[in-house]
Amino acid sequence: MEDPTRFLRERAEIEILENEEDWVSSAWRFSEDGSIEVDLDITIHGRVYAGRMTYPGTFPNSPPYISPRDKSERWSNHQYGPGGPLCLEWRPDNWQPGITGADMVRSAHKLLSTEQHPELPHTVPSAHRLTAGQGLRGSSRRFVATAAGLANLLSLPLPSQTRLKTATIYSSGAVVMFLVSVADAHDVLQVVSDIPGGITTSSQLFSIPGEGLIFRSETADLRPQIDSADALIQVLTDAGFATDDIIVQEAGRYQARSIILLGKELSSLQVFSISPGDKLELKMQKVVWPSCSDIRLSDESQKLATIRVGIVGLGSVGSKVAVSLARSGIRRFLLVDDDYLASGNTVRHELSWANVGTHKALAVSDALSLVAADVKVDTSTARLAGQESAASAAAALKDLSNCDLLIDATANPEVFLLLAALAKQFRTPLCWGEIFAGGYGGMIARARPGRDPNPLAVRDAYHNYLATLPPAPQKNAAGYDGDEEEPLVAYDSDVGFVAAALTRLALDTALCRDPSDFPYSVYLLAMRREWIFEAPFDTRPIEVQGGGWEHNENAVGDADRIAALEILLKMDKGRAPC
């Protein structure tokens, strides 16, 4: 016992209360886990409430709580479920250490005396506001109402009966239903626009497709009490609807159905599901409403939806950058990586054991399909700058040339040379980054046509700058998740730090901000005090000068141009007609 003085005070205050009032008696005890408890018999209006007050180990910095000794009893509307503690005047949100257990007992008596008065019972107003999450804790079956889904429902005429399709995901502690499509006036199913495609297609989710019906009627505004399938059928029949397609049996088993009732107002929305099986069961879904306080992306970020980003290397850095860009508003991706996710990669990778053995490009594409509704991802498992089919590598490079921004997340100098040449040829901005082996720092860089030197010039300036510094304690880590000569020793947070900085640099580049948030082309970033870094988060910008993006027009003479054109024309004439 850390505070025997407080313990003695608590006992004295309870004893004073018993001497002053005839409605309470107490007995002190230890719980099975060693906590101090007080068994209370509180007499109110002729009834004895057998309760127990528990002092948590954090008392007096958090309040004791009073609950029924019989865990099946529900005493009050201000109680956290049957057998749960009472919600009294003093709670974790307004608790002060000077309040005693005796004060809590008085508060419990006051609450129950008011609510349980045999002649003049009163509702005690609640000063406690539950969060949305607290309100969901007792509901394992939930229906997620999205803004676009609600708009689809409200667009249906009154009265009407319409087909729908759902996707139900079984996850820890909850069975969550999503409305994925609603039939229009021509009975053609229309996709709900703000549901990510991965809800129905992702290999990471146990998603079950479902069918059902939406009934719009003013009867729903009355929110009739529906606690069984028979009650549902009766309500719909009284409203004039046909109900033949609701309860369907095949081979003696009831078929799953989702039923939505909606009147004029959204507040009338009720969602039910009929479970498949031998027994007819109707279950109500708790509606999870879209939040009015959701953080929205800036107007500037809306431009990102039209930009196609090519990311080469979906290892620890590239995977984090891809997901972060999608959350920021990028909707079009080309992902290139020939490698698969190994079990050892999971210590720093954005993906998990659910994707081990899967090609990284395909697995990250699957992850992006769950980030936003309109993400479009192309993938390639071709290996650039390695032993690969020339046709496959050429196809990947051609596809990369159609991107608006390139990101090299490989830390592979051969890949960088290819991307640098591609960027210069097609005047495409290029961003890249590195993690320093040992996890003490990293580097981010970019080259933008017309604003920075070309990528090779930026790289050369960076290496020239490094040559002026003391030797680094460990060499740069190449191929973070591949066959590097020296394993990268770094925490996920270290990689995430550099990946987040590279993402910010890429967003600034994609948006063509002027003035830019990043006035330099190269930055050295510190995670701890080491090498040239004096402290964590020490940032060293590098001034870069070098060659531009212009092609050397003098290298090709007019005679060569004419000769090449003549040969191409002859080749074209010799082609077989289609």
Which option is the CATH number for 140-288: 3.40.30, 1.10.20, 3.40.140, 3.30.420? 3.40.140
Query: What are the sequence ranges of the domains in the chain?
Result: 4-126, 140-288, 308-542
pLDDT, residue 573, reads 66
- Per residue of the chain (578 residues), give pLDDT as tens: 688 999 999 999 999 999 999 999 999 999 988 899 999 999 999 999 999 999 998 999 999 999 999 999 999 989 988 999 999 999 888 999 999 999 999 999 999 999 888 777 777 666 666 778 888 888 999 999 999 999 999 999 999 999 999 999 998 889 999 999 999 989 999 999 999 999 999 988 889 999 999 999 999 999 999 999 999 999 999 999 999 999 999 999 999 999 999 999 999 999 999 999 999 999 999 999 987 655 566 777 889 999 999 999 999 999 999 999 999 999 999 999 999 999 999 999 999 999 999 999 999 999 999 999 999 999 999 999 888 888 998 999 999 999 999 999 999 999 999 999 999 999 999 999 999 988 899 999 999 999 999 999 999 999 999 999 999 886 665 554 444 444 567 899 999 999 999 999 999 999 999 999 999 999 999 999 999 999 999 999 999 998 899 876 555 677 777 777 677 777 766 665 54
By the 10 Å C-beta count (0-12 exposed, 13-18 middle, 19+ buried), 187 is classed as: exposed
Q: Strand, helix or coil at 460?
A: helix
By the 10 Å C-beta count (0-12 exposed, 13-18 middle, 19+ buried), 237 is classed as: exposed
pLDDT, residue 441, reads 94
pLDDT, residue 456, reads 96
Comparing CA positions, the residue from 506, 505, 508, 507 lying closest to residue 541 is 505
pLDDT, residue 485, reads 41
**HEC assignment per residue over 206-219:** CEEEEEEEEEECHH
Q: Which contacts of 244-249 are long-range, i.e. CB under 8 A and separated by 24 or more positions?
A: 245/213, 246/213, 246/274, 247/274, 247/280
Cα–Cα dist 499/511, whole Å: 18
Tokens of 36: 């101090």
- Written as one string, the DSSP assignment of 167-183 is EEEEETTEEEEEEEEEE
Fold of 4-126: Ubiquitin Conjugating Enzyme (3.10.110)
Burial 539-568 (b: 16+ CB within 10 A, else e): ebebebebeebeeeeeeeeeeeeeeeeeee
Domain 308-542 indexed as CATH 3.40.1830.10: no
Global pTM reads 0.81
Give yes or no for a contact between 454 and 549, defined as CB atoms under 8 angstroms apart: yes
Give yes or no for a contact between 463 and 421, defined as CB atoms under 8 angstroms apart: no
pLDDT, residue 437, reads 85
pLDDT, residue 274, reads 95
Strand order in the sheet with 36-44: 24-30, 36-44, 47-55, 65-68
